[in-house]
Amino acid sequence: MWTEDRILKNVFMFLLGGFLYYFLEIAVRGYSHYSMIICGGLAFLLSGLLNQVLGFQVALVSQMVLSACMITGLEFFTGLIVNVWLEMDVWDYSDVPYNLMGQICLPYSMLWMVLSLACIFLDDWIRYRLFGEEKATYKIF
Whether 134 is in a domain gets the answer no
Question: Is 140 part of a structural domain of the chain?
Answer: no
Q: Where are the alpha helices (DSSP H) in the chain?
A: 4-29, 35-54, 60-79, 106-129
Cβ(45)–Cβ(67) below 8 Å: no
Q: Is residue 135 part of a domain?
A: no
Q: Which residues of 28-63 are buried (b: 16+ CB within 10 A; e: fewer)?
A: eeeebbebbbbbbbbbbbbbbebbbeeebeeebeeb
Q: Is residue 50 part of a domain?
A: yes
**Predicted local distance difference test score (pLDDT) of residue 132:** 93
How many structural domains are present in the chain? 1
Provide the residue range defining the domain that includes 66. 4-129
pLDDT of the chain, 141 residues: tens digit per residue:
678 898 999 999 999 999 999 999 999 999 999 999 999 999 999 999 887 787 667 889 999 999 999 999 999 999 999 999 999 999 999 999 999 999 999 999 999 999 999 999 999 999 999 999 988 888 888
CA distance 107 to 98: 8
Instruction: Please indicate, yes or no, if residue 14 is contained in any of the structural domains.
Output: yes
Assign 112 to helix, strand or coil: helix
Look at residue 29 and tell me if it is in a domain: yes
Check residue 56 and give its pLDDT: 65
Cα gap 78→133, rounded to integer Å: 31
Task: Kindly state whether residue 52 falls inside one of the protein's structural domains.
Answer: yes
Taken in order 127, 129, 133, 137, the sign of the CA dihedral is positive
